[in-house]
Amino acid sequence: MLYQMTKKRLKFIFLVVMAVFMAVFDLPAQEGVIKKVVIDAGHGGKDPGALGKKSREKDITLKVALKTGRYIEKYCPDVEVVYTRSKDVFVSLNQRAKIANDEAADVFISIHCNSAPKATSANGVETFVMGEHRNEANLEVAKLENAAILYEEDADVNYGGFNPNSTEAYIAFSFIQSEYKQKSLDLAERVQNQLVNRVGRKNRGVQQAGFLVLYRTAMPSILVEIGFLSNVNEEKFLLSELGQDYIASALFRAFRDYKKESDENWRKTMAVSDANGKDDVIVYKVQFDSKPEEVSNMKSCYKGLDNVSCYYYKGSYRYTAGQFSTKSEADRYCKTVRAKGYKDAFVVKFVNGERIN
């Protein structure tokens, strides 16, 4: 009975917190063709990740990440590849998401290796998106990967005292529904299809779970578990140059196909808009703050920012800076605004003066 009351109370508290968070810092929707991807090699530095008999997760994920990036650079030259790490260094989960957001990436791909020391016959690949834990196995995978925060000195500050080993702590993640979930699922399905049908790995399916590295990314994001280091045969495959090439090429092909369809859909949408002959006025601004009450003197309150303006949206007053005709210009200015201390700034789009998601 006490456990049930605690669980319900946690749910209520989290719903309130999330409602406030989403109202204040609602995330921008992705738009345009895909031009930038962030590839995240799981773990690194003092955090080895899962351990096999002869391997460490951090080493394999880095090699596969770099190979995947090189494939993309070679065959998708219009795409910029950004790595959360390109060598054996420790990068916090919080920082990995921040890199993707600061770079205004269109896609985030996090690469990991699985482990099941108590079931060494476990094998196969699975791709995760941010969402509810559907079963105990998904929860255990999330716990394993989220345990990386135990290596962070300021984890209590960055994650609000989140305990990666507490089952109750994961209740919160059941309520997070990402704006990018459908696109994330689309990419995840493509990854699974490539790894299973082209590389011949066992299919453990597309799953949902509460990964800290995914829930703060403001773009379609996936986490792929490329095999079990606790399984001798899979460890051997993942340690081999050929195995790493196969995995990386599968990730590349999935990304390439996802990009192709996404770009085509965007161009079709733009073609329809042009055919309708609309002369819409499109403006991009950088939203940096939100308050329940309107600020009386914006110029003195927000010194050092250009063209500060205010608009009312979803129950609060949103404050923006800058005014640009292209999103790329707004993205560049967004970095300037964040550097001035507004870490959660992001780009918003207005059509004929109306905020568009």
Q: Are residues 114 and 235 in the same domain?
A: yes
* Among 335, 125, 120, 147, residue whose Cα is nearest residue 233: 120
pLDDT (average), residues 133-140: 49
Q: Are residues 40 and 136 in the same domain?
A: yes
Q: What is the model's pLDDT at position 166?
A: 57
- pLDDT for 46 beyond 70: yes
> Is residue 85 included in any domain, yes or no?
yes
Task: List the domain range (segments joined by +) for residue 90.
Answer: 31-265
Q: Are residues 244 and 316 in the same domain?
A: no
Burial (Cβ within 10 Å: 0-12, 13-18, ≥19) of residue 29: middle
Q: Are residues 68 and 153 in the same domain?
A: yes
d(CA 330, CA 131): 30
Q: Which amino acid is at 157?
A: V
- pLDDT for 12 beyond 70: no
Buried b (16+ CB within 10 A) or exposed e, 318-357: bbbbbbbeebeebbebbebbbeeebebbbbbbbeeeebee
Number of domains comprising the chain: 2
Tens of pLDDT, residues 199-243: 999 999 998 877 777 777 888 999 999 999 999 999 999 999 999
State which of 265, 295, 317 marks the end of a domain: 265
Q: Which residue has the higher pLDDT, 8 or 22?
A: 8
pLDDT band, residue 127 (cuts 50/70/90)? very high
Q: Is the pTM of this model over 0.75?
A: no
Q: Are residues 206 and 291 in the same domain?
A: no
> Is residue 126 included in any domain, yes or no?
yes
State which of 265, 290, 316 marks the end of a domain: 265
d(CA 218, CA 21): 14
Burial (Cβ within 10 Å: 0-12, 13-18, ≥19) of residue 54: exposed
- pLDDT for 99 beyond 60: yes
> Is residue 315 included in any domain, yes or no?
yes
Provide the strand spans (E) within the chain. Answer: 36-41, 80-83, 107-114, 125-130, 203-209, 221-228, 282-291, 309-313, 316-324, 346-351, 354-356
- What 8-state DSSP symbol labels residue 56? B
> Is residue 5 included in any domain, yes or no?
no
* Ordered DSSP codes for 2-14: HHHHHHHHHHHHH
Q: Are residues 217 and 340 in the same domain?
A: no
CB 342 within 8 A of CB 336: no
pLDDT (average), residues 16-38: 57
Q: Are residues 247 and 164 in the same domain?
A: yes
> Is residue 301 included in any domain, yes or no?
yes
Give me the CATH number covering residue 309.
Answer: 3.30.70.1070
Other residues' Cβ atoms within 10 Å of the Cβ of residue 82: 17
Element (H or E) spanning 99, and its range?
helix 93-102
Q: Are residues 286 and 260 in the same domain?
A: no
φ and ψ at 349, to 5 degrees?
Answer: -115, 135
Q: Which residue has the higher pLDDT, 44 or 298?
A: 44
- Whether the CA torsion 296, 300, 301, 307 is positive or negative: it is positive
pLDDT (average), residues 64-78: 96
- pLDDT for 175 beyond 90: no
CB 143 within 8 A of CB 112: no
Q: Token digits for 310?
A: 């205010």
Q: Which residue has the higher pLDDT, 31 or 210?
A: 210
Give me the CATH number covering residue 74.
Answer: 3.40.630.40
- pLDDT for 148 beyond 90: no
> Is residue 15 included in any domain, yes or no?
no
Q: Are residues 336 and 197 in the same domain?
A: no
> Is residue 9 included in any domain, yes or no?
no
Average pLDDT, the chain: 81
Q: Are residues 123 and 237 in the same domain?
A: yes
> Is residue 332 included in any domain, yes or no?
yes
Q: What is the model's pLDDT at position 327?
A: 87
Place of tokens 């609309």: 278
Q: Token digits for 59?
A: 């080493």
Q: Are residues 304 and 156 in the same domain?
A: no
CB 214 within 8 A of CB 110: yes
Q: Which residue has the higher pLDDT, 25 or 192?
A: 192
Q: Are residues 55 and 114 in the same domain?
A: yes
pLDDT band, residue 272 (cuts 50/70/90)? low
d(CA 190, CA 15): 32
State which of 265, 300, 328 marks the end of a domain: 265
d(CA 32, CA 265): 9
- Whether the CA torsion 31, 32, 33, 37 is positive or negative: it is negative
pLDDT (average), residues 239-255: 98
